[in-house]
Amino acid sequence: HSLSAQHIEKIAGIQLHALSERLARIDLHLDVSGAALLELAKVGFDPVFGARPLKRAIQQRIENPLSKLLLEGKFLPGVVISVNVDPIRAPGEFTFTPTAKPVEA
């Protein structure tokens, strides 16, 4: 049976969780908005290939720009990197914003 949009979103969430775990090793934390997850699911789905293009979409749209920002020193250890997309102002363009790490109870 074919994959639904919900399946693709779930797969994207799993792959982003793996990225979050890698970032946690250097004390950085990832917070991906629902809009960004939807955009990844949209660009990472192909009716013929299913979710196969998703990994490439995550690499090109999230990992590569994020790596460049990390190398430029834009994010200090201990911050949460909020990943978002504005479908109105910049459709398909992801933003990476540092925010304070939430205090753990």
What's the CATH number where 62 sits? Answer: 1.10.8.60
**C-alpha–C-alpha distance, residues 9 and 85, integer Å:** 15
Q: What is the pLDDT of residue 4?
A: 75
Q: What is the pLDDT of residue 104?
A: 57
How deeply is 31 buried, as exposed, middle or buried, from its count of CB atoms within 10 A (0-12, 13-18, 19+)?
Answer: middle
Residue 105 lies in a domain: no
Residue 35 lies in a domain: yes
Q: Averaged over 17-22, what is the pLDDT? A: 95
Cβ atoms of 36 and 9 closer than 8 Å: no
Total of domains in the chain: 1
Range of the domain at 73: 5-99
Residue 74 lies in a domain: yes
- pLDDT one-digit tens code per residue, 20-76: 999 999 999 999 999 999 999 888 888 777 788 899 999 999 999 999 999 999 999
